[in-house]
Amino acid sequence: MIKLHQVNKHYTTSSGLFHAVQSVSLQVEEGEIHGIIGASGAGKSTLLRLMNVLERPDEGNVVVNGEDLTRMPEKRLREARRSIGMIFQHYHLVHNRSVSGNVAMPLELAGVAKKERVERVRECLQFVGLADKAEQYPAQLSGGQKQRVAIARALANRPAVLLCDEPTSALDPQTTADILGVLREINRELGVTIVIVTHDMDVVRNICTRVSEMRDGHLLSTKHVAAPMVGSTVEAGDADE
Ligand SMILES: Nc1ncnc2c1ncn2[C@@H]1O[C@H](COP(=O)(O)OP(=O)(O)OP(=O)(O)O)[C@@H](O)[C@H]1O
C-alpha cells in the first residue's frame, strides 16, 4: 500500500545541512493502522509528509497504491494525492468557511459537480456524527468537533490512505478516545489504511496493528502490537522485522 525505499530528507538550517530522515525503508500494508512513535525531533512528521510527498525526498522512492509518487509530474501528483487524506494536530480548518464549506473544499478542487458535492458532504458529516453542525463555523466548535470536521474533509474524496499527524495531542482523554473510535471505524468500515504519528503509547495500544519507532532520523524497528483489550494495558512487542 505504502512503500518507502531508502528515503532520505535533509533540511538546510543556519548551522548547515540537517539529515532529518536517514535511509528509511518501510512498508505499510493495506488495511493496517500503523503507528509512528519517537522523541520530539526524531523525524516522525517528516516521515509522514514524505508519504504523500508534501516533503519531496532527496533520495529514495515513495510508492503508494503501486504508483511511484517521486517520479510523477506535479499535476499527476495532485491527482494521486486525492487518494491520500491527511489530518493534523491543530486541524487546519478554514475559519471563514462553514463546516460544510470546509468539507466541500477538496471536492471543489477535484471538480466534483455541486449536487454530488452536497450529497458527499452530508454523508461525510453524518459519518463523523456532525450532521447537525453543517452550517456552523469552526470557532463555534470544540477541539474534538474540529478534528471530526477535519476527518470528514479528509474522507471527502474517498481516500485509500489516511495520514494522521498527532491527531489527538491537543485533546483531553475522553475526546481522544472518541476520535480514536472514529479512526477505527474508518479503518474497519471503509477499509482505509491509516498511518498515525503519536507520542502517546496509549494511542498505539488502542488502535495500532503495528508500530514503527524513529530515533534521530533512523527507523529503529517495526513491531506488531498485541490485540487491544478493553480496559487492559497491552504491551507493544513481538518483533516481526
Ligand atoms: N522545514 C524544516 N526546515 C528545517 N528543519 C526542519 C524542517 N522541518 C523539520 N525540521 C527539523 O527536522 C527534525 C525532525 O522534525 P520532525 O517534525 O519530523 O520531528 P518529529 O519527530 O515529528 O518531532 P515532534 O514530535 O516534535 O513533532 C527536527 O529537528 C526539526 O527541527
Alpha carbon of 145 to ligand 1 centroid (Å): 27
pLDDT above 60 for 196: yes
Q: How far apart are CA 35 and CA 188, in angstroms?
A: 16
Mean of per-residue pLDDT scores for the chain = 93
Which atom of ligand 1 lies at the shortest distance from residue 42's CA?
21
Alpha carbon of 45 to ligand 1 centroid (Å): 7
What are 154-164's pLDDT values in tens digits? 999 999 999 99
Query: First vs last Cα of the chain: how many Å apart?
Result: 18
pLDDT value, residue 228: 58
Alpha carbon of 50 to ligand 1 centroid (Å): 12
* Residues whose beta carbon lies within 6 Å of some atom of ligand 1: 11, 13, 18, 20, 38, 40-46, 199
- The burial class, CB within 10 Å (0-12 / 13-18 / 19+), for 191 is exposed
Joined grid coordinates for residue 146: 474540529
Give the residue-averaged pLDDT of 1-20. Answer: 95
What are 82-124's pLDDT values in tens digits? 999 999 999 999 999 999 999 999 999 999 999 999 999 999 9
pLDDT above 80 for 239: no
Helices H, strands E: what count in the chain?
Answer: 7, 11
pLDDT value, residue 240: 45
Instruction: List b or e across 150-185, with b for residues whose CB sees 16 or more CB atoms inside 10 angstroms.
Output: bbbbbbbbebbbbbbbbbbebbeeebbebbbebbee
Per DSSP, the three-state class of 43 is coil
pLDDT above 90 for 190: yes
What are 33-48's pLDDT values in tens digits? 999 999 999 999 999 9
Pocket probe for ligand 1: among 8, 9, 11, the residue whose CB has the most ligand atoms within 8 Å is 11
Q: Any bridge partners for residue 21, and if so which?
A: 9
Q: Would the CA dihedral through 157, 159, 165, 167 be positive or negative?
A: positive
- The burial class, CB within 10 Å (0-12 / 13-18 / 19+), for 62 is buried
Question: How many residues does this entry show for the chain?
Answer: 241
Q: Which domains does the chain have, with CATH numbers?
A: 2-239 (3.40.50.300)
119 neighbors 44 (Cβ within 8 angstroms): no
For ligand 1, atom 9: residue with the closest CA: 46
pLDDT value, residue 226: 86
